[in-house]
Structures are given as structure tokens and as C-alpha cells.
Amino acid sequence: MFRTGAHVRRLQDLLILAVGVAVSIAVFFAVERQRQEVERKKFVGMARAYSVALQSKLEGALEVLHYIPALHYSTTEVSRGEFARFVRATTVRVDIVRAVQWVPRVPASARTRFEASAINDGRLKFRFTDQAGPGVLVPATERESYLPVFYSEPSDESLGLNLLSVPELAEPAARARDEGRMTSSAPFRPPQSPDGALELALFMPVYAIDLPHDNQASRRTALEGLAVVILTAEPLVDVVLGEALEDPAFGVAILDVDAPAYDRVLYESDLGIGLSPEPDAALAHTEAFEFADRRWSVTFTRRARKRERPWFTLALGLVFTVIVMLAARAVRLVTRLRRSVEEAQKLGQYTLLKRLGEGGMGVVYRARHAMLRRPTAIKLLRPELKGRALAKRFEREVQLTSKLTHPNIVAIYDYGKTPQGLFYYAMEFIDGISLAELVALDGAQPPARVVFIVRQIASALVDAHDNGLLHRDISPANIMLTRRGGMHDFVKVLDFGLVKDIGDDREDTTLGRKLLGTPKYLAPERIESATRGEEDARVDLYALGAVAYYLLVGDHVFTGTSIAEVCAQHLNEPPRPPSWRTENPIPLELERLILRLLAKSPAERPASARELLAALAEVNVDPWTEQDAADWWLRYAEQIKTANLQAVRTLKSDETQQRTVVIDLQARSDTQRSA
């Protein structure tokens, strides 16, 4: 015994040491993460500041573009000298502009006059030209009108070039002319650029003041010309980011998001980071903004730097090992207590895998049988209800439901009591969504699908009613849609927790005059205590009508701020026809059938579920095909999966531990004999 005790203590010491080291490592990484977060926030702040500076510089270029129309409207005719002086004065503080141009609209009849005017002005080689290829200019072909570069500061080889002949410029120039707003070209490489640097052209239309230009046709007639600004990215980067780029670890890329992939990168400090940031970049941040009529983004990166790690935290963690030892002992104590609880709840053949949900009387777990590997759900009575009247109802639920074998009703595999006297039963596991989840996910459903679903529920009720059983809690939460045997939208009716034997009134004397069921789906006769003893199959039909209404409309028949208010509406308020709030056209006979099901008087409803099936067969609605259902499940598969995973993540850890369930065979035999 002594040796055993010493061995246990040594194991405990090792465990405590391991916990102490683990805590120290955790603190180390926490400090490191905090340092990295501070560095990241500082980097993001710097990136945003540079991005704002870039945008400010670009806005300066747009201001220059707005000045040209003002110059044009200030005089009857702008000379080349006036244009040059004006442009030089306005671009003194804008150092990212390569050229500013004036491009008049010249009708074919005025071509000769414009060419002669340019020659008289000293531009002896001025001719209207078209671009026949990269760097190849030829005399302009005959056109109805031209958009030639007439003035350019500084002067370049593009004078006389008809922009409508340049593939990169024709489309944005035409858009500026026809839409009456500033436009931008995609990045392009002009033939005259010695290093092949990408450029960007901005266009601003100028219209005759005395002519209308409120539509495309009138704008083409009123256009006097285009103001053009040519930008290059490298001066922009040098001016704004010159200091930052002195750091070899720092990188930047400017992208025109709307441009083709092969010309999207306007500038990049290191080859390739524009389209794919460096794999060894420790930090990366992208800012997006709009420029003219295009979208730009600027990406900043920084390579990892060697920094001193907070190794001191490991030493500090060892100082607190004693605290960790105490915490470890507390954890072990809690673990022993938890195991004791789990041992007390053993149920043998069944292993509980995870908690699925709970109701007023029981908790449902997903389980696995020790020998039969089929998916199973276990419903276990709440311990606090043991021995109460509701517990007797819980036992009758499984005893009565086990009589039913309809494919649309959940199948009962097994039932009994735990050694602690808690009643449970095992049923088939339904992998799908409830009708409540269906509406939350996809809203109001098409009439064809509603008829398809309601027909299956009604068929299940036929079997239940033929066996003398009322469900009494038909509601969207108690009806599941699943995929079964290659079929989609297969209905399963669940939770016969309020089931009643039509020929047996004992449960009412046991539970008194309590209102049981889902308030928004209660038939009027169930609400009035004086007539409760007269319930028949039509209470289920009323509830089914409310479910059909909910599916068609995406909302309940009656709503209120309290249960009493909802019940009062069931008793006194006529339901609004489903067609009041749905975009899906509802066949008139379907709407009338639902309103019959929701009649206040049971005598005005269909007499039975079988009669309801016959009425549904008369509804003229397009069939809901298996392909329709399969397409829906495929379309929403990811959302359903994500919702299920989220539900699992919200469970407490002690609810997801595997627990084993032992069957008390003697108690089970007594229960079966009493049934």
C-alpha cells in the first residue's frame, strides 16, 4: 500500500510539474501574442495613414481635371499659350501628373481648319492620326467626328492622335462623352514610355453651355471636348512613400481592381507582391478606395524581423508552480466528482454522444447502441420530475407511441428505467431540420411544397387516429424534414409528449385543468376548460392548419405579447387568409381548405385526417417533385451543416462527454406489464 501511495504521489508531482510548465508556456505565448497584436495595430495605423496620403495626392490630380472646363468657359477660344500657362500654374503643387491635354470634338467638316490652325500656331507636323499599332501612327481615316489631342502640356508625340482609335482610351473617352461624368481608363503602357511604366488616363467632358445635355444623344451633340490628365504611379509612390520604402522589409503594391489581371498592378515595390503578398510577410494590410469611376487597392507588407522573445515569462511561470499545483488538485477533484456523476447515470448498452436538445420534461441525446450501430436518439426524463404526474405522462408517451408504425412517425426502439428510476426511451435519430428551422432559413414556402409536407403529416395522423391516439402538440418544432431512402423532404412527426388515448380520460384527472401544448397551435376547444373532455381528432387538424398557414406565410396565424392574448385570438379572432402576406400565389382551394382547418367550431373542419387527405388531392397545384426537393437540399446543404455545427459548439463541455446508459431490466419488465 505504501508503494502504491508513493507511486501515486510521484505521478501527481509529475502532473503538477507538467501543468506548471504548461501554464508558463501559455503565459509566454500570451505575451508574445500581445506584442504581435500591438505591432500589427501600429502597422495597420501606418498603412492607413499612407493610404490616406495616396488618396489625397490623387484628389489633387482630380482638381486639375476640374480646372480645365473652367478655363474653357472663361473665354471664347483658348490659345496654346494660355493653356500652357494655366496648366503649369495649376500643376505646381501636383507632382504626379505626367501630362494635361485638351481634346476637342472636331466634326469631319472642321478637320482641315483645325489642322491648318495648328500649323499656323507653329506645330508644322500636326495632322489628325490614328493608332494602327503600338507606336504606329497613320493619317486618320474619314469619320463623322474626331477626338484629337490638340493641346498637351508638356508637349509629346500624341498631338493630333484621335483617341477613338486607341483601344485603351476609346472606351473610357466615349463613356465620359456619353455619360457626362468623369471616367478613368484601365492601366496601359503608352508606346512613348521608355521604361514601359503603366499609366492611367482621366477624362472630364466639357459641354456647350447653351445646349442641353441631359441624355446620351444630346450630350454627343453638345460635347465641345474632353479634358484629359495622364498619371503615372511611380512618381506618386516616390512622393508619398519614399521614406517608407527605404526600409527593405517594407513593401507596397497599388492595384486597379477593375483592370484585367495582367495589367491590374499599377506599382509594386517587389515583383509579385501585388497579386500575391510575400509568403514570408509577417504583416500585410490592404486598403480599398474608389478613384474616378474605378476601384483601387493598396497593399502594404512587412517581412518578419528578429525580435527578443519574452523568455523571462517561462522563469516567472515556474515561480507560480505552487499555485498551479493547487489548481491541478482542484481540477482533479472536479474530475472525480464528474466521473461520480457519470457513473451514477450509466445506462449500459447506450453511449450518449452529445446533447441534441431539451423540452419541458426531458433531455434528448444522440446515442449509439453497443452492438447495433444504427443512429439512435435517447430521451431521458428530467431528474426533478421523478415520481410526479408529468413523469407518468412521459411514460405513457412512449407506451402509446410505440404502437404506431407509420413511416412518417418517429420509430421507438426501446424504453425502460435507469437504476435511479429515471424513465427513458430510445428512438430513431432524425438527421434534418424542423419546419420551424425551415422557415427561419428559407422563409415562406411555395404551395406545392406545403401540400407535399402537409399530406405526409396528415397520413401520419390517419395512423395515429385509427389507433385511437391524439397527438395534441402538432407544431413546426415537432415536425422534421429529412432525407430517407433516396427521398428528400421526408416528414417525421416527433414528440408525442401530449399524446392522449381517445378512450382514456385519466390523464386529465391526474394533471388537473392545466393548459398543455404549444399556444400558437391550440384548437379553441382545447383552450376552453369546460369542453376539454370533448377533444377529438379535429384538435390535431386545427393545429395542422396552423402549421400549413405558417409554412405558406412565414408567420403564425395569431401572435401576441402573452399566452393569454394568443389564446383569446384562437377563441375569438377569425384568421386572415394566407394570401395577405405572401408573394407566392396560393390556389384558392388550398386557402379555403386551410381556413376550414382553422375554423373555431370543430364541426366546420374536416371530420378526419383521412377526409383531409381526400381534400388535399383535390387541390390544383403543381407537384413538388423529387428533383425540386433534391435541388433545395443541395442549395441549402452548407447553411444546414453550419447551423448544426454552431449548435454543437454552443454545448457545454460536460454535455458532450460520452456517458454510458445501463438498463434496469426488472424495472423495464414492470413498466411493460403495467402498460
List, for residues 605-644, the tens digit of each pLDDT value: 999 999 999 999 999 998 999 999 999 999 988 888 765 5
Q: What is the pLDDT of residue 344?
A: 42
Angle at alpha carbon of residue 72, lines to 152 and 294, rounded to 5°:
65
Say which of 256, 414, 463, 473 is annotated catalytic. 473
Q: What is the pLDDT of residue 404?
A: 86
Q: What is the pLDDT of residue 561?
A: 85
Helix boundaries (H) for 283-373 = 312-319, 321-344
Distance (Å, rounded) from C-alpha 567 to C-alpha 558?
9
In the predicted structure, residue 430 carries a pLDDT above the cut 90: no
Distance (Å, rounded) from C-alpha 408 to C-alpha 460?
6
Closest-CA residue to 417 (of 385, 388, 381, 384): 381
Coil, helix or strand for 373?
A: coil
Closest-CA residue to 131 (of 163, 177, 176): 163
CA 115, distance to chain mean position in Å, is: 60
If you ran DSSP here, which 8-state letter would residue 575 be given? P
Q: What is the pLDDT of residue 460?
A: 93
**Which amino acid, 126?**
F
* Location of C-alpha cell 503603366: 198
In the sheet with 479-484, reading across from the earlier edge strand, the strands are 432-434, 479-484, 487-493
pLDDT band at 662 (very low <50, low <70, confident <90, very high): very low
Q: By the 8 A CB rule, do 57 and 247 touch?
A: no
Number of H helices, E strands in the chain: 20, 24
Contacts for 239 with CB less than 8 Å, ≥ 6 apart = 57, 95, 96
Q: What is the pLDDT of residue 82?
A: 83
Q: What is the pLDDT of residue 548?
A: 95
- Annotate 420-483 with DSSP letters as a single string: TS-EEEEEE---EEEHHHHHHHH-SPPHHHHHHHHHHHHHHHHHHHHTTEE-----GGGEEEEE
Distance (Å, rounded) from C-alpha 257 to C-alpha 265?
9
Instruction: Record the cell numbers describing residue 456, joined without a space.
Output: 405526409
Q: By the 8 A CB rule, do 261 and 303 touch?
A: no
Give the mean pLDDT of the chain. Answer: 79
Identify the structural domains of the chain with CATH numbers, from first to last: 22-319 (3.30.450.350), 321-386+420-429+636-675 (no CATH), 430-625 (1.10.510.10)
Instruction: Record the cell numbers describing residue 165, joined without a space.
Output: 482609335
Q: Which pLDDT tens digit goes with each residue over 195-254?
A: 567 788 999 999 988 888 889 999 999 999 999 998 887 777 777 777 666 777 788 888
pLDDT band at 173 (very low <50, low <70, confident <90, very high): very high
Sign of CA dihedral 478, 482, 485, 487: positive
pLDDT band at 278 (very low <50, low <70, confident <90, very high): low
Closest-CA residue to 409 (of 329, 308, 480): 480
Coil, helix or strand for 171?
A: helix
Distance (Å, rounded) from C-alpha 329 to C-alpha 342?
20
When mean pLDDT is compared across 26-35, 204-213, 354-363, 500-509, the lowest value belongs to: 500-509
Residue 495 appears among annotated catalytic residues: no
Torsions phi, psi for 347 (to 5 deg)? -130, 30
Distance (Å, rounded) from C-alpha 73 to C-alpha 207?
10
In the predicted structure, residue 490 carries a pLDDT above the cut 90: yes
Sign of CA dihedral 508, 514, 517, 521: positive
Distance (Å, rounded) from C-alpha 256 to C-alpha 233?
11
When mean pLDDT is compared across 139-153, 361-375, 559-573, the lowest value belongs to: 361-375
When mean pLDDT is compared across 68-72, 97-101, 190-194, 617-621, the lowest value belongs to: 190-194
Residue 664 region by backbone torsions, left for phi larger than 0, else alpha for psi between -120 and 50, else beta: beta
Report the half-sphere exposure of 371 (CA within 13 A, side-chain side). 2
578 vs 535, residue with greater confidence: 578
Q: By the 8 A CB rule, do 496 and 470 touch?
A: no
